[in-house]
Amino acid sequence: MKNEDDSRATTYTTIAAGADFRNELEIRRSRFITVLRRATDEEIARSLVSDLRREFHDARHHCSAFVIGPDRMIQRSSDDGEPSGTAGVPMLEALVKRETSPKVTNLSDVSVVVVRYFGGVLLGAGGLVRAYSESVSAALDLAPLVQRRRLRLCSIDVPHAEAGRLENELRGAGYVMAETGYEARDTVLRVALPDDAGAISEAHARLASLTAGTLELLPQGTEWVDVPY
């Protein structure tokens, strides 16, 4: 599987970490119970189906879809007994076409299952497509979402006496500071930067300006972090 750090994307939207999110709709007497789970791999995504089959063992259908990865390369869906193309595909489209901001569709790392209890009224193919799509969209309208960003971690070895001043100046300039470390001679400040060449170049220039070129910004790899909207 492609490593997240090799992704072309540097940001995407996902569900906030924590418990599964649930929402229920009644459409022409059928119950549609939608459950969303944050899923970073296929095993986690598929486990949602298994969990809900046990919980709702008497339901007729447990239709599912998921999209995974910063570049959204993994996409799967299942109709689970509904007429072909009337459940899983509409659910998947509700995920991948979801606008997380104007004209931006970047929702990922999401697994969704819609559990259907048949209410005795046939919906027809078009009605099923609308019902399953609407169920997922309604759940996403209410679910807590976060922005997931790939940040470049860099360190700065600073003499202890100067560390507090430099950290305050960097924070004042809008930089995100990660965990600080301490060594015998220096304080190690860590800065989290957007993982793009322009932001890193600007940070190098800002540090040179603040320290008269005496300190260096050292790359320490990347890390994906959740950022609230």
pLDDT per residue as tens digits for the range 64-95: 999 999 999 999 999 999 999 999 999 999 99
Contact assessment for residue 66 and residue 81, using Cβ atoms and an 8 Å cutoff: no
> Regarding the domain delimited by 4-143, which CATH topology (the fold level of the hierarchy) does it fall under?
Ribosomal Protein S5; domain 2 (3.30.230)
Assign 47 to helix, strand or coil: helix
Residue type, 69: G
DSSP class of residue 152 equals E
> Does domain 149-228 fall into CATH 3.40.30.10?
no
Span 11-69, pLDDT tens digits? 999 999 999 999 999 999 999 999 999 999 999 999 999 999 999 999 999 999 999 99
Q: How confident is the model at residue 120 (pLDDT cuts 50, 70, 90)?
A: confident
Distance, CA of 157 to CA of 204 (rounded, Å): 14
The dihedral formed by the CA atoms of 153, 159, 162 and 165, expressed in degrees to the nearest 10: 20
For the stretch 82-88, contacts whose Cβ atoms lie closer than 8 Å and that sit 24 or more positions apart, written own/partner, are 82/116, 82/128, 82/132, 83/125, 83/128, 85/125, 85/129, 86/125, 86/128, 86/129, 86/132, 87/61, 87/63, 87/114, 87/128, 87/129, 87/132, 88/63, 88/64, 88/132
> Other CB atoms closer than 10 Å to residue 75's CB: what's the count?
15
Question: What one-character-per-residue DSSP string does 165-227 give?
Answer: HHHHHHHHTTPEE---EE-SSEEEEEEEEESSHHHHHHHHHHHHHHHTT----EEEEEEEEEE
Q: Tokens 């089959």 identify what position? A: 53
pLDDT of residue 229: 77
pLDDT greater than 90 at residue 7: no
Assign 144 to helix, strand or coil: coil
Beta partners for residue 224, in sequence order: 150
pLDDT greater than 90 at residue 216: yes
Average pLDDT over the chain, rounded to an integer: 94
Task: List the chain domain ranges.
Answer: 4-143, 149-228
pLDDT greater than 50 at residue 1: no
pLDDT greater than 70 at residue 3: no
pTM: 0.81
Distance, CA of 151 to CA of 121 (rounded, Å): 51
pLDDT of residue 228: 78
